[in-house]
Amino acid sequence: MIRQLLSMTFLFLLAPISVTANSVEREPIRINLGAEPQTLDPLLATDLVGSVVLSALMEGLVDVDANEVPQPRVAKSWEHSEDYTTWTFHLRDDAKWHNGDPVTAHDFVWAIRRLLTPETGAQYANYAYSFLRDGEEWYKAGGNNGEMEFTAVEAVDDHTLVYNLANPTPFFPSVLQLFTWLPLHRKTVEQHGDRWALSPDTYVGNGPFRFTRYQSGHRVTATLADNYHSRGDIHWSEVQFYFIDSETTANTAFLRGDLDVSITVPLPEIDSWRGKPEFNLKEVFGTFFLVYNTQRAPFDDARVRRAFNMSINRRLITTQVTRRNEPTSEGVIPRGFESARGGDYRDHAGNMIGPRNLEKARQLMEEAGYPEGRGFPRTEFLFETSEQQRMIGEQLQSMWRRAFNVDVRLQNVEWGVLLSRTRQQEYQVARLGWYGDYLDPMTFLELFISDSAQNRPAYNNPKYDDLIARARAETDPVKREDLMIEAERILIEEDAVVCPLFTYSVPTLVRRDIEGIDRTMTGSLIWLHARPRAR
């Protein structure tokens, strides 16, 4: 209740702005993200809202447009070896840190070394080292604290950066859009340690905007940087990121003119917004799914997991709850990835979810020792605080009660708490989801290898791990795809480690007098080069 009141309070503190096409002065842009980022340290970040804030404060080698085509940022050009295992990036010479220091290739190398040092605690470390030559070995040898030479990423000179990859990776530039690969200002991090990213006073970025104000639980404000190399391309004097977790409150703020952009829309309001110029709904490469704690009863039994999966009416959720008519899942990998054989990956992988089957589900529960729900232990479904997640949770709770006569209790927590508890396996079944980090099915499958920091189900199947390792090393694209399809089949059909529900369709509200706001196919908000619409 206190958090809700606080959100309502700062609606009255926001001053409306007037954006005109002929205005000489830049105006601020106000964006609601719906949740507060876990961290603004790019090496420790894991969430989508964090990536949006980091897109203002930091800048990497490349970014991507709405079609996921890499665009130059700190890198002005790049080339690759014939086998796609060596990538060379040429950095622009006018890129600056906000304190005036030049951004160099050495800043990227130092950041990667820190990422791949275990004591840093980066959850994306295994994701990064899976691409880099000897990256895993260097990490497991202690990273900066070990004695192994680091050759995966090299600064040839201040403006030439070379990545040596473990396997051929034609899509590597699109991989570099992720915050994991951002540079760091070494002197700042060494001086302030892990606390460097907690305050505008100690934060040194290299992005279009300089971190100027932080109000915990409410807002991050960043001001257009005087020394940003492409300052003339930015049409905003500052950006204000709000963390209004109540979708109803955010909707009211938008209607009042107190927000310019919001990435949350209350479910009951979807139909009223549909068809209006302020509203955009985009299907992206992301899957909404449930995860089961495979190390904790009752979901340590694959039969229970499979039964719960089979009992869900996915179409009811997308039509009656979310009201966005999202495509229901056929596997953990959504449609939209091109197959090595041509067409869509899912056309070749097939539907691994299958139709709802209550008879088979009840039979599995009986085989697991819970006939008609008798003896089923107390179970909690964990989700983050939001109207949408509560409504989805209530539908799942009802479906499981009707199917098995079991009582699954709902527990909502803040987004950061959800991520922390699932990471530490302090849950039984929880709602999560994943937006692809790059344009390849592996961005979903690698989440569930046994040593992945994103392995929230604590899944451990050597056969699955072996298939993923072989797929990473396979140079024949068709054989590689076959390995990934078999790995996904084991994950979904046999072990039922996750329960994919639907492909994300992400809503965005944008004021009519602003143009250029969009989403990438991996769900990120495109806003930096938006502008007031000409009149």
For range 217-221, the mean pLDDT: 94
Domain that holds residue 20: 1-34+208-278+511-535
Judge whether 219 and 243 are in contact, CB under 8 Å. yes
Query: Which token pair is 117?
Result: 């040092």
501, pLDDT greater than 60: yes
- Where does the pLDDT of residue 11 fall: very low under 50, low under 70, confident under 90, or very high at 90 and above? very low
Predicted local distance difference test score (pLDDT) of residue 535: 55
**Three state DSSP letters for 438-469:** CCCCHHHHHHHCCCCCCCCCCCCCHHHHHHHH
- Domain-located, residue 200: no
pTM score: 0.81
Span 373-421, pLDDT tens digits = 999 999 999 999 888 899 999 999 999 999 999 999 999 999 889 999 9
Q: Are residues 274 and 287 both part of a single domain?
A: no
For range 195-210, the mean pLDDT: 97
Q: Are residues 64 and 157 both part of a single domain?
A: yes
Cα-based distances in Å from 220 to 54, 107, 232, 234 = 11, 25, 23, 18
Judge whether 449 and 472 are in contact, CB under 8 Å. no
Predicted local distance difference test score (pLDDT) of residue 361: 97
Q: Are residues 29 and 65 both part of a single domain?
A: no
Q: Are residues 212 and 348 both part of a single domain?
A: no
Q: Are residues 338 and 468 both part of a single domain?
A: yes
Sheet of 236-242, strand order: 209-215, 219-224, 236-242, 27-32, 261-262, 498-510, 279-292, 429-435, 379-384, 408-413
* CATH number of the domain enclosing 346: 3.10.105.10
Span 450-467, pLDDT tens digits = 988 889 999 999 999 999
- Domain-located, residue 191: no
- Domain-located, residue 192: no
Cis omega (within 30 of 0) for bond into 298: yes
Q: Are residues 332 and 234 both part of a single domain?
A: no
* CATH number of the domain enclosing 157: 3.90.76.10
HSE-CB at 228 with a 13 A cutoff on CA atoms is 25
- All residues at 6 or more sequence positions from 276 whose CB lies less than 8 Å from its CB, including other chains: none
- Where does the pLDDT of residue 8 fall: very low under 50, low under 70, confident under 90, or very high at 90 and above? very low
Predicted local distance difference test score (pLDDT) of residue 4: 28
Predicted local distance difference test score (pLDDT) of residue 157: 98
HSE-CB at 173 with a 13 A cutoff on CA atoms is 22
Predicted local distance difference test score (pLDDT) of residue 9: 31
Q: Are residues 532 and 494 both part of a single domain?
A: no
429, pLDDT greater than 80: yes
14, pLDDT greater than 70: no
For range 515-531, the mean pLDDT: 92
Span 464-483, pLDDT tens digits = 999 999 998 888 999 999 99
Please state, rounded to an integer, the average pLDDT across all residues of the chain: 92
